[in-house]
């Protein structure tokens, strides 16, 4: 017997009336949207530019200071 | 398993249960003992069949074994209890369900939905999400203008699957990979390698029965 055939209760006994929230629930489950939030890192080219600028500033040669 | 004040929660749980049973039928995990307490209420079970839509018939379409008559009758009852919505995504799902019900000897009313959108209209991102919502149509022997759109735009589907993978949205990624597997099964060249995607999704799935069912269908289609 297929596992799909397991049906311990008779569906014909179900009340043949559904409310609009129930219909809305079924429709919402039919059309799941993509997840709203992604936890993947996003590509931010402007951030890369800022990092490059910061690195250049830090690595650039400093003016020699006079000895006191 | 009644949920007094939330049909959405109750129906979601019932859908998970029904997807699990369809997955069992598809993978041959038959005869498992099911605790009676876990079985959904009759109306929730009908709602679950309505949500699964064409996937109620997926085990039969993919294994060649006929759908049990009581399963087909329950799906027909669900279709009548929860009225069809001839607009947008629901319309195409309902049309496919109606076609499969008619094949199973339960003809139900079905109209012609509007033409499905093209990725050129709203961009491939939005279009691929729409196709993910319609992934239950990616089954053998089904054909419609939605399938024609998929055949015409394998690159947009591949982009959508890649985007979903990068977003770590495994549910959407699995649904789009199911379309890619269907494309491969009908001989359309893909822009992505399917095997690594299926392997990765099997490792990183979201743990729901619905996603597991989509993945199992995709694996069957890819092996066809």
What is the ipTM score, two decimals? 0.86
Higher pLDDT, B193 or A11: B193
Distance from A45 to chain B by nearest Cα, in Å? 17
Nearest by CB: B89 against A16, A29, A31: A31
Quick count: other Cβ atoms within 10 Å of Cβ B126?
A: 14
pLDDT of residue B3: 54
Higher pLDDT, B185 or A12: B185
Q: A14 vs B32: CB contact, 8 Å cut-off?
A: no
Q: B29 vs A29: CB contact, 8 Å cut-off?
A: no
Chain B CB contacts of A1 below 8 Å: 30-31
pLDDT of residue A14: 47
* pLDDT above 50 for B169: yes
Across B13-31, b (16+ Cβ under 10 Å) vs e yields bbbbbbbbbbbbbbbeeee
- Percentage of residues in chain B with pLDDT exceeding 90? 72
pLDDT of residue A10: 46
CB A26 within 8 A of CB B51: yes
CB B121 within 8 A of CB B76: no
* pLDDT above 70 for A41: no
Quick count: other Cβ atoms within 10 Å of Cβ B68?
A: 20
């Amino acid at each position: 017997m297929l596992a799909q055939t397991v049906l311990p209760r008779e569906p014909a006994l179900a009340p043949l009336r559904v409310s609009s929230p129930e219909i809305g629930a079924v429709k919402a489950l039919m059309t799941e949207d993509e997840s709203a939030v992604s936890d993947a890192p996003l590509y931010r080219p402007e951030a890369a530019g800022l990092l490059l600028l910061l690195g250049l500033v830090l690595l650039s040669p400093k003016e020699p200071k006079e000895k006191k | 398993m009644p949920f007094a004040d939330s049909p959405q929660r109750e129906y979601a749980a019932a859908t998970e249960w029904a997807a699990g049973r369809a997955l069992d039928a598809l993978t041959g995990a038959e005869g498992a003992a099911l605790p009676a307490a876990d079985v959904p209420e009759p109306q929730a079970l009908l709602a679950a069949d309505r949500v699964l839509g064409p996937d109620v018939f997926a085990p039969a379409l993919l294994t060649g074994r006929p759908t049990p008559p009581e399963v087909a009758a329950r799906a027909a009852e669900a279709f009548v209890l929860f009225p069809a919505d001839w607009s947008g995504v629901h319309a195409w799902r309902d049309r496919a369900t109606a076609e499969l019900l008619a094949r199973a000897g339960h003809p139900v009313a079905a109209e012609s939905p509007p033409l499905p959108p093209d990725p050129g209209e709203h961009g491939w991102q939005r279009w691929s999400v729409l196709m993910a919502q319609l992934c239950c149509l990616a089954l053998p022997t089904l054909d419609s203008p939605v399938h024609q759109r998929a055949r015409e735009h394998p690159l947009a589907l591949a982009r959508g699957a890649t985007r979903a993978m990068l977003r770590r949205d495994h549910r959407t990624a699995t649904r789009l990979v199911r379309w890619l597997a269907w494309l491969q099964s009908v001989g359309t060249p893909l822009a992505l390698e399917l095997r690594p995607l299926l392997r990765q999704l099997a490792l990183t799935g979201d743990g729901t029965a619905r996603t597991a069912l989509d993945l199992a269908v995709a694996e069957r289609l890819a092996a066809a």
